[in-house]
């Protein structure tokens, strides 16, 4: 039996103190997940408090959903149960920072923007452009393994986490990894937690690898006539010595959403955007190479000054597009590199025949493709469309997840898709770590 709401609040209150307990129903609304509003929300300020809350939740059969600043609460399946929102936003201190070592340890609730500002003073950065942007929390970024287009140049959170401190679902504090850049002591449990969407533990601290910021950056767009030519260009860039930080192919809708100032007739069907980083000399050299590669496919190379805002949008599709399209659906296909263009072509045809307005943002260098169905209201045909696209992705050797979508869609289609022959192992893992199903029950793959 779950506790009555009043005694739950009293119990949490005792654990963390009145000041930290958010009781206001209006506040609770901010923590709603797929329309489910928790009975209480807490913002503890220490790891011990986080552990105590989880322990308490286990004792009282309560379900807890951890969050940082709530930028990714819309991801995942709808929770089976949801009693307590556990906000890490009070936990935003720096625990250890030695710029010369290129490592840092911070509390998990620290906002990404504040983090970048801090390390930026030393010319460093964490080369990620996660969903949620500056608002996203470090813990949330790791829990969602949230990587944007910068993955092209630098990999994702998985490659940057050195160690984690977590509160385990049974209310204990554990650590994994360390804060040095190389470490093979013990099982790499940090990998399990990275991308686990708050189902295995609550991150309270993270040690991360930092990188020197590039001296200069430059963005170019290349206007390409057809998907076939885009494919040629993608292949030749990936084979060239040019190291892109970001590489995103936009269809004409996506390109116009990003920049509607260029309405010139003859604007092409596709634009391949690339960001370069390095010294002026390096950028000059790469620009020279790119111009040659582009001209080989009759593409025009255009420098895009002030592209940072556009890149922000591309890594933050729901936040950017949802005000305009309330029933926006964002799908993410992950594919073998060769399959990007074929999948795009398929998706475009499907959208056309279903009369779904589509915008495509394809990170073609890593084959992560975001399809946005630009809808003010959800069409009845969208669920079937998603299922067909998922099959198309599977046929090409990839997967497709719903990154953002209206509840109607999410209640009809599993956001993650079917698991593989390792799903049973994942389920068992969840059971041995969280037998009481305290953390985020039902939100992850296969009902985990």
Partner 1 sequence: MKSNGLSRELAGIVGADGVLWRSEDLMLYEYDALSSMRRPDAVVFPRTTEHVVQIAKLALRHNLPLVARGAGTGLSGGSVATEGGILLGFSRMKQILEIDLENQRARVQPGVVNLDLSMAVADDGYYYAPDPSSQKACTLGGNVAENSGGPHTLAYGVTTNHVLGLEIVLPDGEVIHTGASHWDRPGYDLTGVFVGSEGTLGIVTEATVRLSRKPEAVKTLLAIYNQVVGATRTVAAITARGITPAALEMMDGFCLRAVEEATHAGYPMDCAAVLLIEVEGLKEAVEEHADEIEAVCQENLAREVRRAKSAEERDLLWKGRKTAFGALGRISPNYYVQDGVIPRTRLPEMLEFIGSLEKKYDLRIGNIFHAGDGNLHPLLMYDERDRAQTARVIKAAKEIILRCVEMGGSITGEHGVGLEKSDLMPLIFSDVDLDLMGRVKNLFNPQGRLNPGKLLPTGKMCGELRGGLLGGGAP
Binding positions for partner 1, 201-220, rule CB under 8 A: 211-213
Restricting to residues 345-404, which ones interact with partner 1 according to CB under 8 A? 366-368, 397-399, 401
Select from 141, 145, 50 the least CA-distant residue to 91.
50
Restricting to residues 3-22, which ones interact with partner 1 according to CB under 8 A? none
Residue from 13, 48, 188, 342 touching partner 1 (CB under 8 A): that is 188
Q: Which is nearer to partner 1, 285 or 300 (CB)?
A: 285
Binding to partner 1 by CB under 8 A, coded x per residue (else -) over 428-447, reads xx--xx----------xxx-
| Shortest separation between residue 374's beta carbon and partner 1, angstroms | 23
The CA distance from 6 to 254, in Å, is: 48
Q: Which is nearer to partner 1, 442 or 446 (CB)?
A: 446
| Shortest separation between residue 238's beta carbon and partner 1, angstroms | 8
By rule CB under 8 A, what count of residues binds partner 1? 84
Task: Count Cβ atoms within 10 A of the Cβ of residue 125 and give its class: 0-12 exposed, 13-18 middle, 19 or more buried.
Answer: middle
Beta-strand runs (E) in 73-187: 84-87, 94-98, 103-107, 124-125, 161-167, 173-177
Q: Which is nearer to partner 1, 31 or 361 (CB)?
A: 361
Q: Which is nearer to partner 1, 10 or 174 (CB)?
A: 174
47, 165 Cβ separation under 8 angstroms: yes
The CA distance from 256 to 224, in Å, is: 14
Q: Which is nearer to partner 1, 30 or 95 (CB)?
A: 95
| Shortest separation between residue 368's beta carbon and partner 1, angstroms | 6
Q: Which of the ranges 35-43, 83-91, 134-142, 336-344 carries the binding residues for partner 1, by CB under 8 A?
A: 336-344
Residue from 185, 305, 377, 380 touching partner 1 (CB under 8 A): that is 185
Restricting to residues 30-69, which ones interact with partner 1 according to CB under 8 A? none
Cα separation of the two ends of the chain: 21
Alpha carbon 263 to chain centroid, angstroms? 32
DSSP tag of 299:
P
Number of C-beta neighbours around residue 25 at 10 A: 8
Q: Which is nearer to partner 1, 83 or 194 (CB)?
A: 194
CA dihedral 337, 130, 289, 342 (to 10 degrees): 30
In terms of DSSP H, where are the helices of 194-322? 227-239, 252-258, 280-296, 308-315, 317-321
Q: Which of the ranges 59-67, 80-88, 99-107, 221-229 carries the binding residues for partner 1, by CB under 8 A?
A: 99-107
Q: Does 92 bind partner 1 (CB under 8 A)?
A: no
| Shortest separation between residue 342's beta carbon and partner 1, angstroms | 12
Select from 399, 39, 253 the least CA-distant residue to 31.
39
| Shortest separation between residue 277's beta carbon and partner 1, angstroms | 10
Q: Which is nearer to partner 1, 195 or 379 (CB)?
A: 195
């Amino acid at each position: 039996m779950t506790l009555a709401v009043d005694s739950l609040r009293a119990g949490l209150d005792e654990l963390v103190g009145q000041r930290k307990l958010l009781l206001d129903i209006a506040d609770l609304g901010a923590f709603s997940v797929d329309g489910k509003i928790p009975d209480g929300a807490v913002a503890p300020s220490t790891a011990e408090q986080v552990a105590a809350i989880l322990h308490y939740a286990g004792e009282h059969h309560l379900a807890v959903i951890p969050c940082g600043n709530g930028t990714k609460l819309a991801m995942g399946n709808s929770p089976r149960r949801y009693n307590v929102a556990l906000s890490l936003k009070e936990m935003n201190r720096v625990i250890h920072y030695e710029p010369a070592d290129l490592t840092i340890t911070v509390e998990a609730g620290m906002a990404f923007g504040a983090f970048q500002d801090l390390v930026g003073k030393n010319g460093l950065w964490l080369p990620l452009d996660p969903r949620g942007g500056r608002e996203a929390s470090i813990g949330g970024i790791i829990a969602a393994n949230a990587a944007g287009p910068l993955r092209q140049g630098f990999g994702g959170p998985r490659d940057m986490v050195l160690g984690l401190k977590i509160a385990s679902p049974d209310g204990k504090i554990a650590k994994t990894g360390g804060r040095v850049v190389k470490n093979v002591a013990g099982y790499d449990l940090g990998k399990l937690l990275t991308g686990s969407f708050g189902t295995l533990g609550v991150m309270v601290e993270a040690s991360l690898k930092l990188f020197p910021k590039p001296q200069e950056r430059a963005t170019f767009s290349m206007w390409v006539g057809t998907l076939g030519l885009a494919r040629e260009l993608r292949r030749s860039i990936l084979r060239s010595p040019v190291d892109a930080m970001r590489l995103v192919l936009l269809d004409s809708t996506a390109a116009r959403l990003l920049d509607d100032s260029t309405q010139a007739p003859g604007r092409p069907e596709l634009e391949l955007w690339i960001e370069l980083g390095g010294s002026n000399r390096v950028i000059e050299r790469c620009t020279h190479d790119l111009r040659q590669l582009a001209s080989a496919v009759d593409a025009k190379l255009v420098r895009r000054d002030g592209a940072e805002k556009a890149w922000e949008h591309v890594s933050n599709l729901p936040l950017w597009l949802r005000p305009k399209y309330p029933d926006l659906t964002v799908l993410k296909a992950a594919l073998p590199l060769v399959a990007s263009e074929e999948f795009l072509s398929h998706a475009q045809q499907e959208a056309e025949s279903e009369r779904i307005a589509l915008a495509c943002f394809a990170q073609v260098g890593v084959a992560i493709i975001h399809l946005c169905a630009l809808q003010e209201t959800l069409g009845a045909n969208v669920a079937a469309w998603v299922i067909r696209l998922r099959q198309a992705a599977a046929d090409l050797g990839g997967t497709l997840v719903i990154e953002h979508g209206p509840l109607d869609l999410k209640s009809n289609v599993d956001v993650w898709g079917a698991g593989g022959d390792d799903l049973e192992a994942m389920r068992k893992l969840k059971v041995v770590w969280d037998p009481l199903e305290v953390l985020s029950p039902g939100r992850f793959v296969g009902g985990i």
